[in-house]
Amino acid sequence: MNDLHLSSDDRSSIQSHLDEFARRFTSIVILVIILTIIWSISIDEILHYVLLKLDPCADNCINIYSPDEWAGTRWLSASLLGLFTAAPYAMVQAYSFARPGLLPSERKAFVSWMVIMWGLAFSSLFLTITEFLPWLYAYGHSFNDDTGLIGIYDAAEMLRISISIAWAIVLVLAAMTIVIVAGLSKLLWSGNAGWWRLRIHGVMLMLLWLVIPSGLPGLLFTLTILASGIVELVGWRTFRAPMPAGFGLKELLDYEGGTHRVLYVNCSCNGTSPEITPLNGMGQVSYRAVCRSTDEQNNLIDVVKRYGVNKVIFSGCVVDSLPVQYVDSLRFLGCKCDSLDLAHLSVIRTDERLIDYQIAMSSLVGPWSETAANKRCLNILENENINSIHYGPKIPFGLNLQKDEVWIGSANDSLIKEIKEMGYSLTYHSN
């Protein structure tokens, strides 16, 4: 396996995804065309209002010098209005298409970004047309007064420049909100900042260069530098943030000095597994039945991916009971899997003692050393009234422990040796 698959993936062919994308994209294009035609009916009144706002002169100094360019500008303006008004439908189609391949946190971030960007786009366009661009043109026109020149401006050229600037502002806001939302969602940090930078800057600049008129190289250069600089400034801390932490996860050191993040998956297995306290430094998430719920499996993959977990300890679920593809996905993320098998431990005694579960937790090794694990287990045995110890690779059928007995499932040779030296009665079970 060389990629990440969610448990809910249906393994559809690439052609089926392309066909679905083509259907959704075609429906968006058709809607944009219809809305463009509708907007074209009233586009002259809209452009008249915009040009009155942009006119920097006391008397009218805007004229049309090229009817064909003006006609093209009219249709460009109408198509952009059609595109913005079709945005809600486009967002629904984009989410429906991307949802099956997104992790839970990515879905929330995607929806949040689209909704925020929808509001920001219209707000920024309104302020740009009514406040920023009139000030900008008036400021530029003031230079003509200083030099004694009489300014006469091309309406089509002014609108194209205005569209380019407004489009650049929308793109910069979109890139800024992606950085902010991804940072708050703990999807973006210094470890994957290069991946995010490449896509954010790449898509933003590609769309920016697409709309800027080819005859305005100065505007192209200026907007490129400003757009990239503003995004980097907003994401200064996010691009340099440390690996996110959550669910009580702490970085644990092994004997070689390597860092590890270990997550305890407290799965009740539909009420068959008890709750116990994980070791110090382990994170903890709780589920009802990971082995049966694809939503819980996807949520766990999301946690592992976002927080850099490299080892998962299941409470009751046995690793073999999980789908093979799911275990492969965890391994693809660099995460090892282990289980305490508490669901089977719960059937070997009739009293309500938790000592068998505590021993199972305390005997964990990696990143902990065998010496540390042995010390934890021996401390538990010394504090309990235990006389006899059963151990082996598998719990034998029909085993029923008494109050002074305990089961150790993953006892290493050094632990067994120390237990013998302490005088406990030992019984080995081979099956």
* Domain assignment present for 230: yes
pLDDT of residue 34: 95
Q: Are residues 153 and 34 in the same domain?
A: yes
Q: How far is residue 16's CA from residue 401's CA, in Å, rounded to a whole number?
A: 56
Q: Are residues 314 and 378 in the same domain?
A: no
Q: Are residues 50 and 140 in the same domain?
A: yes
> Going residue by residue through the chain (431 aa), what tens digit of pLDDT does each one get?
456 777 766 667 788 888 888 999 999 999 999 999 999 898 888 888 888 888 777 777 777 777 777 788 888 888 888 988 999 999 999 999 988 888 889 999 999 999 999 888 888 888 888 888 888 888 877 776 666 666 677 788 888 888 888 888 888 999 999 999 999 998 998 888 888 999 999 999 888 888 776 766 777 788 888 888 999 999 999 999 988 888 889 888 888 888 889 999 998 877 777 888 899 989 999 988 888 888 888 899 999 999 989 999 998 878 888 888 888 888 988 899 988 888 888 788 877 778 888 888 988 888 888 888 889 888 888 888 888 888 888 888 888 888 888 888 877 888 888 888 888 888 888 76
Q: How far is residue 328's CA from residue 309's CA, in Å, rounded to a whole number?
A: 15
Question: CB–CB of 173/128 below 8 Å?
Answer: no
Question: CB–CB of 154/66 below 8 Å?
Answer: yes
* Domain assignment present for 357: no
Q: Are residues 77 and 226 in the same domain?
A: yes
Q: Are residues 325 and 414 in the same domain?
A: no
For the chain, the farthest-separated pair of C-alpha atoms sits apart, in whole angstroms, at: 107
Q: Are residues 56 and 104 in the same domain?
A: yes
Domain end call among 202, 234, 266: 234
Give the residue numbers spanning the domain of 259: 245-346
Q: How far is residue 124's CA from residue 285's CA, in Å, rounded to a whole number?
A: 41
> What are the tokens at 394?
């598998």
* Domain assignment present for 18: yes
Q: Are residues 208 and 162 in the same domain?
A: yes
Give the helix/strand (H/E) hosting 154.
strand 153-154
* Domain assignment present for 9: no
pLDDT of residue 150: 66
Q: Are residues 205 and 100 in the same domain?
A: yes
* Domain assignment present for 89: yes
Question: CB–CB of 97/24 below 8 Å?
Answer: yes
Q: Are residues 185 and 297 in the same domain?
A: no
pTM of the model: 0.80
Domain end call among 234, 260, 287: 234
> What are the tokens at 377?
């287990």
* Domain assignment present for 412: yes
Q: Are residues 273 and 403 in the same domain?
A: no
Number of domains in the chain: 3
> What Å distances lie between residue 249 and 113, 210, 359, CA to CA?
27, 45, 22
Q: Are residues 139 and 223 in the same domain?
A: yes
Q: Are residues 130 and 71 in the same domain?
A: yes
Instruction: Give yes or no for a cis peptide into 242 (omega within 30° of 0).
Output: no
Domain end call among 186, 201, 234: 234
